[in-house]
Structure 1
Amino acid sequence: MASRSRSLQYYVLSRLLLLPLMLLTIVTVVFLLLRATPGDPVDAVLGARAPEAAKEAMRERLGLNAPLPLQYVRYLGELARLDLGTSLTSQGQSVWRIIQQHFPATLELTVIAMLIALGVGIVVGSLAASKPDTPVDAGGRLFGILTYALPTYWFGMLLQLLFAVQLRWFPIGSRFPLSANPPQGPTGLYLLDSLLRLDFGAFFTTIHYLILPSLTLGILLSGIFERIVRINLKQTLRSDYVEAARARGIPERRIVISHALKNALIPVVTVFGLTVASLLGGAILTEVTFNWPGLANRLYQAIEFRDYPVVQGIMVFFGVIVAIASIIIDIVNAWIDPRIRY
């Protein structure tokens, strides 16, 4: 028992020591990619026809005239002080302030979308695996292929066309009605803040606006979980202990839910961590499609206007989230399955 505990501690320590290297790699890649892409942020701010003297003055003020290695060292120094810089296009607004304003919307969308993805993926995958070589199994495989292949923006616009334009059940976009005041609270999460204020009208309005974008992102990600659950549950249902349970006369439904599904869900933990990156990537397309005022949409706008500090700050912020999520998932996996530690 002591040796298992020590092996887990060593594994956790090794993963934590890798975290600074992962973050440095993310920061370096973001820095180099921004400067390798064509275009000049000064032109985006001042306009291509601005006087050259004004452009040079702004480049000097932003440090863009300095050699690339010096810019990199300065950038690392700012990050060490947790200074993400100031936006070039938002009237001097700090990047931290932009993240504070827009991240709650992205967090709310991604959490609901992940719950939908897990629920739909596990249910469809379990049904397909429990009825092998049947139309249900074929439908599960088709569902996994389609949800993986469909473009996010196309599926989102399809839902908008059907449920917002034709049926008029849901709004076509945005996070809250422009004519109403959104819930105010300490978290910035409309669902949670409205519950804290016992404002159930605002709570259900938030859900009404959240349904289409979260369904878009959640259903498209659910295919990943469906395939993992279906494949692993099929293998588990062929194992010896499941056959022994059948021999004892235990109903098939109870075998699937109480015995096989638990073991089949272990790989889902790993995929859950890896899906965080896909979730943030899909959030960009979903937020742009639905005009969702989240951080991913703000990143898209910053890329469009070549706002270096905002792009760098948001990308580093997302990178930190993905890196920390990967470490946490690795640790949880090692705790669940001791074989991973060796």
Structure 2
Amino acid sequence: MSFIAKYLPNVVTNWSGDYGFVSAIWQTLYMTFASAFMAGILGLFFGVLLVVTDKNGINPHPVFYSILDKLVNVFRSIPFIIMLALLLHLLYARFWYKFLYDLGVVPTKEPFQKLVNQGMILGNNHEKMSKSKGNVVNPDDIIEEYGVDSLRVYEMFMGPLEQSISWSDEGLAGTRRWLDRIWRIYVDEDSDELSSKITDQNTPELDFIYHKTIKTVTEDYSRMRFNIAISAMMVFINEVQKADHFNREMATNFLKLLNPIAPHLTEELNERLGNNESLTYSEWPTFDVNKIVEDTVTIAVQVNGKLRGTIEASVDEDQEQLKDKAKNLENVQKFIEDHQVVKTIVVPNKIVNIVVK
């Protein structure tokens, strides 16, 4: 009984007697099944009413159906069910994990370092998807028309994972066009062979954006900022299209970056590159820090803390030169010509702040 009292302290307060264990189990099951039963009964009851009073139902009643439908949608929009499932799963997971921790089987007190709640995909009318509202999107239809990779990439690109975002057919079509662009970079449309753009030649003009993309995508994947990672890959593809050649190693490593969200397209292109190893089991690309150091930076110029312009400067430019450049800006001169410059503060590679009185 001491074991149950320790790990289920709130179920039964008195463990004495021969049936203490049975009582604890019964009360636990009772609470669980009673909650599920009530939720099921209520859901079934209102569901039947909606079906019966629908315009195509046994007893059509437009006014009653409309009111009930709105009430159901209001309560359904409250994330009670989501939170209920979330809390119960967390409760069970943490309970067993803490039990194992007390036994010394696992090394840490908590099973998770972070909890992320994903947002909902709303209808194109910015409302929650519902059959009664006619704004439901069938994934099978989307896959049939655009392909599963397009759907997957679009969902990751819609916005931050935690936010609720409205569905857009135009956005989905744009994603498909981007994937088609990638295909055309790798595959010649006329011959259906590997594009002549992909060679073993070095492409130094792509070095900076290539290594920067690997860094950005790697970091954003780990932070679950998939939309930003995809944006970085889009920028990279734009630069690749401008280049005369696309180095084969770069081409392979880009596919590795895209593979988690577009596995079918990337595996096909990887095979056409002549690589025998699946991208799923290949080593993740690494970046060279020295290749992503920018030679020039954009520096904000402020007068008394207010932004008045920007200047371009080399990363190691002398501070006196920065001050002169800042003061020579036409828009800055308007705010300092009739004032006394008290001091000029330079934050390297970021800000030049001119203080006047």
TM-score, normalised to structure 1, is 0.20
Greater share of residues in helix = 1
TM-score, normalised to structure 2, is 0.19
